[in-house]
């Protein structure tokens, strides 16, 4: 039972981290109708900038500065890259962001090399906040939960309660009308893109010390981010939250329990072969839950798409 509680908390951390990436991506998508393949690369840039700044002035300035820098880079990419490509339709946009992802990975390897960076959590958070049955829960992870929650609440407040949020929401559905009313819609687009990438960068800075800062970190998270927003429903902030938490827990629990396929097969009435290694289906019989863990989110995506093609909370046709 105590292990169950620890896993709930771990899954919450993973889920909220995923949410910080997905919220930006899903906003950008609902606004521009373009899937930003380079989104996870901005997350990686955030981690590397955070690391580089932390070597000069410490972790905390890095947490503030890195997202700002990445946000400006993101805005510049929208202004001088995506906006020009936009004229030619969605496919060139997709290809542009895809190329950008490759470019960022190469640039990162060029400057920082291929090995893992020694990005450390700040000293004040390097203690175990509490421990359940010998399992320590680091204070840094508590901090991660609060940061992610904070980001979500601020975002929700801005989008639903402020004038800027109203304009953004209006620009989502009726860009021409909003423009006719005198609002600078391209500027809003650029701002949303910048904020979205800055949020990915915040996720990068706080995840860097825990999940590792290395050139493969964007690829490792990139595909799962898309799966999450598809499950949640493209363009839905609440959907992104629900789907992120769902996937966070799914992955944590899948890795935490060594359920064997053999037990399942026996339970449905099959008999285990005497010599499993020689059996024709030996791969199936020796399979364990942690081994299939990484494919479960994709499985979930397919099931969701079959049952609810718009995603769990999505409104629009995708």
Partner 1 sequence: MNRFTKSLLGAAFAGAAMVGSFSIAHAEGTIKIAFIDPLSGPFASTGNQGLSHYKFAAEELVNSKGGVLDGQKFEIVAFDNKISAKESLIQLKVAIDQGIRFIAQGNSSGVANAITDAVKKHNRRNPDQQVIFLNYSAVDPALTNDKCNFWHFRFDANADIKMDALTDVMAANEDIKKVYLIGQDYSFGKAVAAAAVKFLKAKRPDVEIVGNELHPIGKVKDFTPYARKIIASGADAMITGNWGSDMVGLGKAVIEAGFDNPIYTYYAASDGITKTFGEAGEGKLKLVMEGQLNPPVSDRAAAYTAKFEKQYPDYDIGQPRIANVIEMLAKAINKAGTATDMAKVAYALEGMEHDSIWGTKVVMRASDHQAIQDVHILAHTAKDVTFDFDNSGYGLRAESTVKMASADSATTCKMKRP
The interface region with partner 1, picked from 94-102, 148-156, 207-215, 306-314 by CB under 8 A, is 207-215
118 or 302: CB nearest partner 1 = 118
* Per-residue interface string for the shown chain with partner 1, residues 64-103, x marking contact by CB under 8 A: ----------------------------------------
Residues 245-274 that bind partner 1 (CB under 8 A): 251-256, 258
Tokens of 64: 């503030």
Rounded distance, CA 207 to CA 17, Å?
A: 7
Is 138 one of the binding residues for partner 1 (CB under 8 A)? yes
Q: Which of 145, 288, 305, 316 binds partner 1 (CB under 8 A)?
A: 288
Is 118 one of the binding residues for partner 1 (CB under 8 A)? yes
The interface region with partner 1, picked from 62-70, 81-89, 208-216, 277-285 by CB under 8 A, is 208-216
Is 110 one of the binding residues for partner 1 (CB under 8 A)? yes
Tokens of 94: 């997709």
Is 14 one of the binding residues for partner 1 (CB under 8 A)? yes
Q: Which of 117, 144, 230, 234 binds partner 1 (CB under 8 A)?
A: 117
Confirm if 293 and 251 have CB atoms less than 8 A apart: yes
Min CB(231)–partner 1 separation in Å: 17
User: Which residue in 10, 6, 17 sits closest to 251, CA to CA?
Assistant: 10
Is 305 one of the binding residues for partner 1 (CB under 8 A)? no
Residues at the interface with partner 1 (CB under 8 A): 3, 6-7, 10, 13-14, 52, 55, 110-118, 120, 128, 131, 133-136, 138, 210-212, 214-216, 220-221, 224, 251-256, 258, 288, 290-291, 293-294
């Amino acid at each position: 039972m105590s292990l169950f509680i620890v896993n709930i908390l771990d899954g919450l951390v993973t889920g909220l981290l995923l949410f910080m990436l997905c919220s930006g991506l899903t906003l950008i998508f609902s606004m521009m109708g373009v899937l930003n393949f380079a989104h996870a690369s901005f997350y990686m840039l955030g981690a590397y900038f955070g690391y580089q700044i932390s070597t000069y002035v410490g972790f905390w300035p890095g947490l503030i500065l890195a997202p700002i820098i990445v946000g400006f880079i993101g805005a510049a990419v929208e202004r001088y890259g995506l906006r020009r490509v936009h004229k030619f339709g969605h496919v060139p946009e997709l290809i542009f962001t895809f190329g950008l992802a490759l470019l960022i990975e190469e640039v990162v390897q060029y400057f920082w090399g291929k090995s893992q960076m020694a990005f450390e959590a700040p000293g004040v958070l390097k203690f175990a906040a509490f421990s359940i049955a010998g399992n320590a829960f680091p204070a840094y992870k508590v901090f991660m939960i609060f940061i992610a929650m904070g980001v979500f609440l601020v975002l929700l407040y801005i989008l639903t309660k402020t004038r800027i949020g109203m304009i953004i929401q209006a620009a989502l559905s009726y860009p021409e009308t909003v423009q006719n009313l005198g609002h600078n819609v391209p500027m809003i687009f650029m701002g949303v893109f910048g904020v979205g990438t800055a949020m990915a960068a915040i996720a990068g800075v706080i995840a860097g010390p825990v999940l590792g800062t290395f050139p493969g970190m964007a690829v490792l998270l990139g595909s799962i981010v898309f799966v999450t927003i598809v499950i949640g429903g493209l363009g839905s902030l609440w959907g992104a939250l629900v789907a992120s938490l769902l996937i966070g827990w799914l992955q944590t629990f899948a890795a935490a329990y060594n359920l064997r396929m053999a037990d399942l097969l026996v339970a449905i009435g099959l008999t285990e072969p005497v010599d499993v290694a020689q059996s024709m289906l030996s791969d199936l019989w020796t399979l364990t839950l942690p081994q299939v863990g990484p494919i479960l989110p994709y499985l979930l995506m397919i099931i969701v798409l079959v049952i609810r093609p718009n995603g769990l909370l999505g409104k629009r046709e995708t």
